[in-house]
Amino acid sequence: MSLRNFHAIASIYKFELHRFGRTLLTGLLVPVITTSLYFVVFGGAIGSRMTEVDGIPYAAFIVPGLIMMSMFTESIFNASFGIYMPKFTGTIYELLSAPVSATETIIAYVGAAATKSLIVGTIIFVTAHLFVDLPVAHPFAMAGFMVLIAVSFCLFGFILGIWAQSFEQLQVIPLLLIMPMTFLGGAFYSVHMLAEPWRTVTLFNPIVYLISGFRWTFFGRGDVAIEFSLLFIAAMLAVCLGIIGWVFRSGYRLKK
């Protein structure tokens, strides 16, 4: 842990936000439109026939899942792209030759990506209020949960961006692993709605614990105990930080 070059952190953070700024319209409009579409399809058309899940109106029930899904995607995409692009264009030379520590690099890149992810999450949260009556049982826990999720998935995205050697590799993990795991992780249904053995199988999917935990902050109950959810986030953070520490020590795919 070496933390001294705050000018560098500010510069990278600003650079990254500026990069997001160039695609501001699509970056912010897309989550609003997507959320609205989900509400029309799931909340309106299907939800009207389902009424309640675990005592919660279906349209409200899917909100935490929707926010989580968008935040997973946004975090991984922004963080992985942020570090992959300099590698791709060659501008990474400047970062590597600068008096910047690993800690400072992570804070700047992950901080910027997490910021955007949190903005998107908040926009969806606000948009959802236009469609449903949405109580929040634990507002502070909800905010804290969003921050934790944004940071852990941005760390994961950062690792992905360092690992990837092509645009295809950059896409393959989010599309082939994270997306299916999110859909099967109870974003739009309760694990209790599944029959055995799928109910048990689902419990091996770590995403279940994350979505369930976030749902708990809204409705005071989830598919699994909140303690398990926190444990999973903590584990994910620890694993990502461990890998990143190793990446910088070994110079993996950064330094020859």
Partner 1 sequence: MASIIRIEGLTKRYASGFEALKGIDLTIEEGEIFALLGPNGAGKTTMISIICGIARPTGGAVVVAGHDIIRDYRGARSAIGLVPQELSTDQFERVIDTVNFSRGLFGKPRDDAHVEKILRDLSLWDKRHNKILELSGGMKRRVMIAKALSHEPRVLFLDEPTAGVDVELRRDMWKLIGELRKTGVTIILTTHYIEEAEEMADRVGVINKGELMLVEEKTALMKKLGKKTLSVLLAEPIAALPPELAEWDVALGADGQQIDYVFDTQAERTGVSSLLRRLGDLGIGYKDLNTRQSSLEDIFVSLVHQEKAA
Asked if omega into 206 is within 30° of 0 (cis), the reply is: no
What would the x/- binding string for partner 1 be over residues 18 to 37, using CB under 8 A? Answer: xx--x---------------
Q: Does 7 bind partner 1 (CB under 8 A)?
A: yes
- Number of other residues whose CB lies within 10 A of the CB of residue 25: 8
Identify the bridge partners of residue 53 per DSSP, sorted by sequence position. 56
Rg for the chain (alpha carbons), in Å? 19
Query: For partner 1, which residue of 3, 4, 144, 175 counts as binding (CB under 8 A)?
Result: 4
One residue of 96, 137, 193, 201 binding partner 1 per CB under 8 A:
96
Distance CA 220, CA 54 (A): 11
Rounded to an integer, what distance in angstroms lies between the CA atom of residue 216 and that of residue 147? 16
Residue whose CB is less far from partner 1, 18 or 199: 18
Dihedral (Cα; 170, 104, 148, 124), 10-degree rounding: -60
Stretch that binds partner 1, among 86-94, 109-117, 120-128, 159-167 (CB under 8 A): 86-94
Q: Which stretch binds partner 1 (CB under 8 A): 10-18, 71-79, 114-122, 158-166?
A: 10-18
3 interacts with partner 1 by CB under 8 A = no
Interacting residue ranges for partner 1, rule: CB under 8 A: 4-5, 7-8, 10-12, 14-15, 18-19, 22, 89-91, 93-101, 251, 255-256
